[in-house]
């Protein structure tokens, strides 16, 4: 009789030494041989993903072949640049600061976003802050319907459900941020004949937590196969500064602090990792309950949510569709 | 309100909004989620349709697959909401006498 091994967070353990060797060899092959570029451009946000990508690229290509970019805007956390600089200094890599706020203002990013928020909260204006949140999808079987949380200049908070027009308006406007950053990364890539490194991890890549032609665009994606908890394991091995390893993951897109669980994932990231792993390995919902400290209907709900997000992500992953050639 | 007429209005909306006119295969009991017909943005469209077209208010806690995940379920939910609104209105009239 065979006894099934209980599933636990250990299922996501990797050998960081071997994985680093494997990834760095692949980066060298991709950048120098396949793409025929002289180095890598990396937008560093001070978060764990972009920091790990920078450290991996430094090992693969040497620091002199790196161009690190800090691209804050009006809603960025003050920590983003400071921690980004810490990465560049740790690696001895060249870096540049590009404040993207003027470009965003030129594109009317903030104005368009605020007009959309005012569809739900008419008084929203100067001095207000906002973020987009999802309900807790574990508590009950409900749809992932977005609300906006606004904070008045006096500090009073309100949460209002968004209409389709308001939600799409806010997302379309804020997506300028990721696309503007990518535009600048390719400016440097063209200037230096470098390749652009993508920073999405497997959870983001799988669940469509990226902007098409924004942070989803890149010439190579060194950690798109790694679950978030595996990125943390590599960070510890690579010596990413402790403060970055301890920093709670955030989208750094809205003026109110917003966790990734709040915006996109309804579970702590390490648990979400395990659920995606379970889906990928055909593990029954019942067999994940103990490791996740959830009951079976909750795990089944997460599985449905994963499927639903994968369906939505298909468009984000889709390459341009070539039309059939004209008949002669 | 005639159930058949309500279901037809819902079906027409689903057809026009999510199927681009090719809905023959969808049964009234088919799950929108399981068939990949409606995502979370689509649910916002469905809610707006129900609110605008039938004059009801869909509360946050009512936005669940139990209420909105098939033509049958939407139709039943709508009937309950409209019956509830009618009862409340009748109650007010009695109180007012």
On whether any CB of chain B is under 8 Å from the CB of A139, the answer is: no
- Does the structure show a pLDDT above 50 at A1? no
- Judge: B64–A141 Cβ closer than 8 Å, yes or no: yes
The model's pLDDT over B27-83, given as tens digits with 9 standing for 90+, comes to 889 888 878 788 878 999 999 999 999 999 998 889 888 999 999 999 999 999 988
What is the CB-side half-sphere exposure of residue B44 using CA atoms within 13 A? 14
Q: Which of A5-14, A76-85, A230-239, A317-326 tops mean pLDDT?
A: A230-239
Query: Does the structure show a pLDDT above 90 at A326?
Result: no
- Between CA A281 and CA A204, with CA A268 as vertex, the angle to 5 degrees is 60
Check CB contact of A297 with chain B, cutoff 8 Å.
no
Q: What percent of chain A has pLDDT over 90?
A: 66
Provide the mean pLDDT of chain A: 91
pLDDT range class, residue B20, cuts 50, 70, 90: low
- The pLDDT assigned to B2 comes to 66
Please identify, in words, the CATH class of the domain defined by A14-105+169-317.
alpha beta
Chain A, window 154-183: residues with a beta carbon less than 8 angstroms from a chain B beta carbon: 161-164, 167-168
Q: Do A145 and B44 touch (CB under 8 A)?
A: yes
Considering only CA atoms, which of A242, A233, A178 is closest in space to residue A16?
A233
Q: Is the pLDDT of residue A2 over 50?
A: no
B64 and A144 within 8 Å at the Cβ level: the answer is no
Minimum distance, in Å, between the CA of residue B23 and any CA atom of chain A = 19
For position B38, what pLDDT does the model report?
A: 84
Mean pLDDT, rounded, for A203-214: 93
Query: Taking CB atoms and an 8 Å limit, are B64 and A142 in contact across chains?
Result: yes
Q: Residue A106: pLDDT band by 50, 70, 90 thresholds?
A: very high
Per-residue pLDDT, A312: 86
Which of the residues B31, B37, B39, B44 would you substitute to probe the A interface, choosing the one with the greatest number of A C-beta atoms within 10 Å?
B44
Tell me: pLDDT of A190 over 60.
yes
pLDDT score for B94: 59
- Cα angle vertex A55, ends A52, A60, to 5°? 125
The alpha carbon of residue A163 is apart from the nearest alpha carbon of chain B, in Å, by 6
A144 neighbors A135 (Cβ within 8 angstroms): yes
Q: What are phi and psi of A69, to 5 degrees?
A: -120, 135
Phi/psi region, residue A133 (left: phi>0; alpha: psi -120 to 50; beta: rest), is beta
Which residue stretches of A193-227 are H helix? 202-207
- Asked if B49 and B75 touch (Cβ cutoff 8 Å), the reply is no
pLDDT in tens, A112-125: 999 999 999 999 98
Give how far A215 is from chain B: nearest CA, Å.
Answer: 21
Q: How many CB pairs under 8 A join A and B?
A: 43
Nearest residue of chain A to residue B69 (CA atoms): A143
**A304 touching B (Cβ < 8 Å):** yes
The domain defined by B3-96 folds into 1.10.1200
- Measure CB to CB from residue B36 to each of A143, A147, A311 and give the nearest one: A311
ipTM (interface predicted TM) = 0.79
Q: Best mutation site among B18, B32, B41 for testing chain A: the one with the most A CBs within 10 Å?
A: B41
**Secondary structure (DSSP) of A249-316:** PB---SSS--BHHHHT-SS-HHHHHHHHHHHHTT--GGGGHHHHT--HHHHHHHHHHHHHHHHHHHHH
- Cβ distance A167 to B41 less than 8 Å, yes or no, reads yes
> pLDDT band at residue B15, thresholds of 50, 70 and 90?
confident
CB < 8 Å to A312, chain B: 39-40
Closest chain A residue to the Cα of B32, Cα to Cα: A308
């Amino acid at each position: 009789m065979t006894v099934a091994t209980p599933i636990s967070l250990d299922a996501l353990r990797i050998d960081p030494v071997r994985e680093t060797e494997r990834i760095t060899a692949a980066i060298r092959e991709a950048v120098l041989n396949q793409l025929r570029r002289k180095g890598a451009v990396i937008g560093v946000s001070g978060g764990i993903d972009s920091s790990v990508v920078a450290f991996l690229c430094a090992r693969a290509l040497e620091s002199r072949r790196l161009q690190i970019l800090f691209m804050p805007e009006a809603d960025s956390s003050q920590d983003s640049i400071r921690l980004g600089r810490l990465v560049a200094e740790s690696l001895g890599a060249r870096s540049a600061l590009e404040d993207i706020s003027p470009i965003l203002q030129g594109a009317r990013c903030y104005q368009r976003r605020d007009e959309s928020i005012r569809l739900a909260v008419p008084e929203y204006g100067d001095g207000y802050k906002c973020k987009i949140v999802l309900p807790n999808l574990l508590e009950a079987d409900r749809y992932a319907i977005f609300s906006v949380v606004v904070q008045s200049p006096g500090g009073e908070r309100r949460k209002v459900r968004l209409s389709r027009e308001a939600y799409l308006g806010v997302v379309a406007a804020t997506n300028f941020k990721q696309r503007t950053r990518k535009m600048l990364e390719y400016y440097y890539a063209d200037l230096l004949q470098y390749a652009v490194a993508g920073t999405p991890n497997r959870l983001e890549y799988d669940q469509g937590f990226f902007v098409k032609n924004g942070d989803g665009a890149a010439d190579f994606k060194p950690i798109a196969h790694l679950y978030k908890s595996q990125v943390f394991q590599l960070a510890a091995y690579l010596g990413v500064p402790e403060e970055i390893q301890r920093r709670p993951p955030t989208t750094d897109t809205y003026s109110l602090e917003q966790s990734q669980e709040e915006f996109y994932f309804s579970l702590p990231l390490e648990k979400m990792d395990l659920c995606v792993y379970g889906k990928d390995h055909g593990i029954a919902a019942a067999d994940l309950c103990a490791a996740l400290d959830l009951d079976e209907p909750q795990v089944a709900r997460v599985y449905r949510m994963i499927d639903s997000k994968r369906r939505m992500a298909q468009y984000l992953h889709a390459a341009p569709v070539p039309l059939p050639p004209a008949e002669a | 309100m005639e159930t058949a007429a309500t279901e037809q209005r819902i079906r027409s909306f689903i057809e026009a909004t999510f199927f681009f006119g090719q809905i023959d295969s969808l049964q009234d009991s088919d799950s929108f989620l399981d068939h990949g017909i409606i995502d979370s943005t689509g649910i916002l469209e469905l809610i707006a349709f129900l609110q605008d077209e039938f004059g009801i208010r869909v509360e946050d806690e009512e936005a669940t697959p139990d209420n909105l995940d098939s033509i049958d379920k939407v139709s039943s939910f709508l009937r309950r909401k409209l019956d509830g609104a009618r009862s409340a209105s009748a109650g007010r009239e009695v109180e007012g006498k």
